[in-house]
């Protein structure tokens, strides 16, 4: 995969964050997705800053910045910079070679729940497994700017899928751009449902019971069910409908 292809894909991911409401309104220029370059694992590509329209929804592939694992800008347009929290990305890539994508935004419901110190629990299917383990919380509202802060965040996330930054935002990881962005969407969906429940029934509201969640795993694969054997023969149904849809939508404007 060429650097140009990764720049295009990272641009699409950043635009999707805006399209799904994770970087809109007063948050329109806040947040960034990145991807490690598959053929050059000591390089990653992240959204840049310093453009006339500095909003995720308006990003162009050529405005993505190539960085090394120290967070230095290696390549990008004149007068552009890496995203200001680049150390969050570089520190995670440096510490965890298997992580290939990092997404950070300031999602409203996840942020308010972090300040309430209300641990998220599974309230709907989407992201239920992902939310079933306690999420680490970085107990500072400041942006991640220094080497020390980047290392603190990378250490706290511990190679896992998600970290909350109290009163600030959230960071998700993945083996692909799709995974880190979808995890952010799931996190915010669960946080929104937790907020609804918190408002309706208080901090001790019910959530999906563990035994009910357990029923979602280790199931007979769909293609092995008698009524699907023929229609799914030789292929697995596509499961990435959300990502494919929003990729298509945001690509129209690039
Ligand atoms: Zn931030």
Distance in Å, CA 203 to ligand 1 centroid: 27
Distance in Å, CA 116 to ligand 1 centroid: 19
Name which of 60, 120, 76, 93 is nearest 180 in CA terms.
93
Distance in Å, CA 180 to ligand 1 centroid: 16
What does the alpha-carbon distance between residue 85 and residue 208 come to, in Å, rounded to a whole number? 35
For residues 121 and 195, the answer to whether their CB atoms sit within 8 Å is no
What does the alpha-carbon distance between residue 19 and residue 243 come to, in Å, rounded to a whole number? 11
Q: In tens digits, what is the pLDDT along the chain, a chain of 254 residues?
A: 899 999 999 999 999 999 999 999 999 999 999 999 999 999 999 999 999 999 999 999 999 999 999 999 999 999 999 999 999 999 999 999 999 999 999 999 999 999 999 999 999 999 998 888 999 999 999 999 999 999 999 999 999 999 999 999 999 999 999 999 999 999 999 999 999 999 999 999 999 999 999 999 889 988 899 999 999 988 777 777 999 999 999 999 89
Q: Quick one: tokens of 68? A: 């090394």
Superfamily of domain 3-251: Class II aldolase/adducin N-terminal domain (3.40.225.10)
For the residues of 179-240, what is the DSSP string, one character each? HHHHHHHHHHHHHHHHHHHHHHH-TT-----HHHHHTTSSPPPGGGSTTTTTTTTT-PPP--
For position 238, what pLDDT does the model report?
Answer: 74
Distance in Å, CA 145 to ligand 1 centroid: 10
Distance in Å, CA 51 to ligand 1 centroid: 18
Q: Taking ligand 1, which is a single-atom ion, which protein residues have CB atoms under 5 Å away?
A: 169
In terms of C-beta density within 10 A (0-12 exposed, 13-18 middle, 19 or more buried), how is residue 145 classed?
middle
Neighbours of 3 (CB within 10 A): 15
For position 130, what pLDDT does the model report?
Answer: 82
Q: Delimit the domains of the chain by residue range.
A: 3-251
Return the residue matching tokens 């945001």.
250
């Amino acid at each position: 995969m060429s650097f140009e292809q990764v720049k295009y894909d990272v641009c699409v991911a950043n635009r999707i964050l805006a399209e799904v409401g994770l970087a809109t309104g007063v948050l329109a220029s806040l947040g960034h997705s990145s991807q490690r370059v598959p053929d050059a694992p000591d390089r990653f590509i992240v959204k840049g800053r310093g453009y006339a329209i500095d909003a995720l929804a308006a990003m162009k592939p050529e405005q993505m910045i190539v960085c090394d694992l120290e967070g230095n800008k290696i390549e990008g347009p004149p007068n552009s910079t890496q995203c200001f929290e680049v150390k969050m990305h570089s520190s995670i890539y440096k510490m965890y070679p298997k992580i290939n994508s990092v997404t950070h935004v300031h999602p409203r419901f996840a942020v308010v729940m972090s300040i309430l110190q209300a641990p998220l629990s599974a309230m709907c299917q989407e992201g239920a497994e992902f939310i079933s383990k306690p999420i680490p919380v970085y107990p500072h509202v400041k942006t991640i700017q220094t080497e020390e802060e980047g290392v603190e965040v990378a250490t706290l996330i511990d190679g896992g899928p998600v970290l909350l930054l109290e009163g600030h935002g959230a960071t998700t990881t993945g083996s692909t751009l799709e995974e880190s962005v979808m995890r952010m969407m799931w996190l915010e969906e669960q946080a929104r449902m937790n907020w609804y429940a918190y408002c309706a029934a208080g901090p001790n509201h019910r959530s999906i019971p563990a035994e009910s969640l357990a029923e979602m795993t280790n199931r007979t694969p769909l293609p092995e069910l008698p009524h699907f054997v023929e229609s799914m023969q030789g292929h697995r149904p596509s499961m990435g409908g959300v990502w494919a849809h929003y990729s298509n939508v945001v690509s129209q404007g690039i």
